Chain A
Amino acid sequence: MTVPTTDAELNTKLAPPISATLDSTARVDLLRKEATRIRRSVIEMIGRARMGHIGGDLSTTDILATLFFAVLRIDPSNPTTPERDRFILSKGHCAAALYSTLALRGFLPVEALSTFMQPLSALNGHPNRRKVPGVEANTGPLGHGLPIAVGSAVASKLKSSQWRTFVVLGDGELQEGSNWEAAMCAGHRRLDNLVAIVDRNRLQQGARTEDTNQLEPLASRWTSFGWETVEIDGHDLAALYDAFTSPRNGKPKCVIAKTVKGKGISFIEDRVEWHHKVPTVEQIELALKELA
């Protein structure tokens, strides 16, 4: 590990691999390639482990790709450097997508992914910061990520630091009340260094969100809690990038990313039963073909 000694060195170390100076078309091309690599990795991991949460992994992939390859200021060679941006996956069950992203970004060896959920593997079904570099918070029970992210954002303000905190929330997860405690707190404190991304795939484990415990009107709910809220296509890589990099305006930001659960695999997309169903060997081959 080398410790940067100047601001310029620190900036170089923390800069994302896809440069901010690229034009949008070139950036989106690169991001799409990374997203496809993540999706292929997820399919392979779940196929091997015979366990996992494939639907949510695939709905959140484009968000993760955009953040880790074009937005987050982080340093895989020094994962806890104090000025890094923080990323928290509140929907911790989508660990396969996170591990794949972290591996492809250089936080852990790609070969380690084959140990996903194997006995004694660091790669548990839900992420553990004490075992996996790049993980900021152990998540799994829902409704935990946003409060921790609020604390991290307050810490950055207290230190007059520039780091930002990004947290990905499931949409079904928003039925947990702790999210709204944290949303109220962030709005009150005008934490404009905080970005919450809702993976709005409209499905939860057992049914559609709107048939279970209605979330709509979701955007106006966030807005009424004091957040700047945008609704975008959660698979539009240019829109995601723009939403994550737009200037701060004195409020925390909620990006409602309208996604498709199981995105990218025709027979998995938008089907409740694929929350944590495991594909057969034939289905894995088909899925990898669709991603070729």
Chain B
Amino acid sequence: MAAPSAANPSLFDCRQAFADTLIALAKEDERIVAVCNDSVGSSNLGEFQKLFPDRLINVGIAEQNMVGVGAGLANGGFIPFVCGAGPFLTGRALEQIKVDVAYNGYPVVLCGMSPGMAYGELGPTHHSIEDLSWLRAIDGLAVVVPADPAQTRAAVRWAVAAETPAYLRVGRTKVPSVSPDETNAFAFGKADRLRDGKDLTIVATGVMVSRALAAGAALADQGLQARVINISSVKPLDDAAIIAAARETGAIVTVEEAMIEGGLGAAVAEVVVRNAPVPMRMLGVKGFAPTGSAEFLFDHFGLNSEGIVAAARELKGR
């Protein structure tokens, strides 16, 4: 089980679900190895290292080499989980992700640990808010953002079975469980409709999904019935679910813990304008963040239930 938070026993750090699942799979499958950049602790790989000391390859603080080593291990028949803090894995090694992993087509699972603004007070250098925009543009690379521990477990199992280049956001910011079906929580390329409504659709990913659900409940109290969709497969996107949302509800609000330019909102908009143009609002991170905790910054950027409600009401003109 994922570790509940001490402060709130119903909130979970997805890194524990990630590590538990990786270990369980590695016991059965010798092809699974982990590669990290001096991040055994922050990637929650301590137990993996104890159980499989040879299969934990810590290359030190060297992200470009880390991703290349992952590609080389895949060339040698392994399924490497390459783990590092999201900003450094994706920003420092972007060309290696493009060329060594995606263009080569090697089944490397890139695990962006503590993504988004999880390292709130450490500042924009440590925020991974550009990753969705950067990686969505890379051909052949799956971009997966689990919203809770159940989705994290299912996404890790999917990545091993799929043997395809993939980026997985592994959240540190504590989240509640949002998956209705614990055992079947993630389907690659599929959206999850978590709440139905006819007046508008809220499309959310990752940490924002529980906030979107809270906004859906608040909007219902105010007479607006919102559909809420969880997008854990940012790429490929479930186009059909987006088109249905546009046609059936006529308005869409997107919300993500990432830059608006090029992220989930942009992905949704690309589908909407081509298939069923409807008014949209996009909520996300607006520029380099000021100092503050992740929760403080969510409030600062309006990435909370109140912000989503306000955007929805403004969009609907009521």
Closest to B103 in A: A138
A215 to B308, CA, bound (A): 56
Contact of B70 among A140, A151, A185 (CB under 8 A): A151
**A136 proximal to B (CB < 8 A):** yes
**A184 proximal to B (CB < 8 A):** yes
Contacts of B59 in A (CB 8 A): 181, 185
Contacts of B66 in A (CB 8 A): 147
- Known contacts A158-B55, A178-B65, A184-B62: A140-B72 contact under CB 8 Å: no
A143 to B92, CA, bound (A): 14
Q: What's the minimum C-beta distance from B308 to chain A, rounded to whole angstroms?
A: 41
CB <8 Å contact, B104 and A152: no
Among A140, A144, A146, A153, max chain B CB count under 10 A is at: A144
For chain A, the bracket of interface size reads 20 to 34
Interface membership of chain A positions 100-143, coded 1 if the CB is closer than 8 angstroms to chain B and 0 otherwise: 00000000000000000000000000001110000011111101
Closest to A157 in B: B54
A76 to B71, CA, bound (A): 22
CB <8 Å contact, B76 and A148: no
Closest to A153 in B: B72
Contacts of B74 in A (CB 8 A): 151
Interface residues of A in 155-180 (CB under 8 A from B): 155-156, 158-159, 165, 177-178
**A86 proximal to B (CB < 8 A):** yes
Interface membership of chain B positions 18-58, coded 1 if the CB is closer than 8 angstroms to chain A and 0 otherwise: 00000000000000010000000000000000000011010
CB <8 Å contact, B68 and A159: no
**B225 proximal to A (CB < 8 A):** no
A137 to B69, CA, bound (A): 12
Among B55, B57, B68, max chain A CB count under 10 A is at: B68
A147 to B66, CA, bound (A): 8
CB <8 Å contact, B76 and A185: no
Q: What's the minimum C-beta distance from A199 to chain B, rounded to whole angstroms?
A: 19
CB <8 Å contact, A151 and B72: yes
A147 to B69, CA, bound (A): 5
Contact of A137 among B33, B55, B64, B100 (CB under 8 A): B100
**A182 proximal to B (CB < 8 A):** yes
CB <8 Å contact, A177 and B76: no
Among B72, B99, B100, B104, max chain A CB count under 10 A is at: B72
Q: What's the minimum C-beta distance from A188 to chain B, rounded to whole angstroms?
A: 8
Interface membership of chain A positions 167-208, coded 1 if the CB is closer than 8 angstroms to chain B and 0 otherwise: 000000000011001101100100000000000000000000
Contact of A147 among B64, B104, B105 (CB under 8 A): B64
Closest to A82 in B: B77
Interface membership of chain B positions 84-111, coded 1 if the CB is closer than 8 angstroms to chain A and 0 otherwise: 0000000000011001100111000000
Name the 8 nearest CB pairs between A and B, nearest first: A151-B72, A155-B76, A147-B68, A181-B65, A181-B62, A151-B69, A152-B72, A178-B64
Given contacts A138-B103, A147-B67, A148-B100, 10 further A-B contacts (CB under 8 A): A146-B68, A150-B72, A151-B72, A151-B75, A155-B72, A155-B73, A158-B55, A159-B77, A184-B62, A185-B59
Q: Which A residues are within 8 Å of any B CB, using their own CB?
A: 82, 86, 128-130, 136-141, 143-144, 146-156, 158-159, 165, 177-178, 181-182, 184-185, 188
